[in-house]
């Protein structure tokens, strides 16, 4: 008898499948994605700063908090851009090594070119 038949997997509901899809999608998203979603909320909440012009300390505090938030968003976005560039360059180097950097692949290209030249194409 098969081991899989003795210990079957539990049956998952549609809700569990949806939940699993949501969780895996959230793991793939960078933190800057959520910060970009929070920017409009923060800007709407910051409208109260312009109504507090009578209290300069409150205005300066609110403005400094707003600049700190936007600075964090900018730093996270730059980090994500650099991470994407590193991944792109690493994959580009890997694909080069697997194709034109591989001697067997180059030899196959040379042989096919020589065959085409001999056949008169």
CA distance 104 to 111: 11
In 7-55, alpha helices (H) = 14-28, 31-45
Say what the pLDDT of residue 87 is: 93
Tens of pLDDT along 11-35? 888 888 888 888 888 788 777 778 8
Q: What pLDDT is attached to residue 97?
A: 86
CA dist 63 and 54 (Å) reads: 14
Interval 98-120: pLDDT, tens: 888 888 888 888 899 888 888 87
Handedness of CA 53, 59, 60, 66 (dihedral sign): negative
**Model-level pTM greater than 0.85?**
no
- In angstroms, the CA 88 to CA 80 distance is 12
């Amino acid at each position: 008898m098969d081991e899989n038949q003795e210990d079957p997997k539990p049956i998952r509901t549609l809700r569990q499948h949806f939940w699993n899809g949501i969780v895996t999608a959230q793991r793939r998203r960078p933190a800057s994605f959520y910060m970009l979603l929070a920017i409009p909320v923060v800007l709407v909440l910051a409208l109260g700063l312009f109504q507090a012009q009578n209290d300069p300390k409150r205005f300066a505090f609110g403005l400094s908090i707003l600049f700190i938030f936007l600075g964090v968003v900018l730093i996270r976005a730059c980090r994500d851009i650099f991470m994407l560039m590193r991944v792109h360059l690493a994959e580009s180097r890997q694909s080069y090594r697997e194709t034109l950097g591989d001697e067997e692949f180059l030899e196959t290209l040379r042989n096919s070119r020589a065959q085409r030249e001999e056949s008169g194409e």
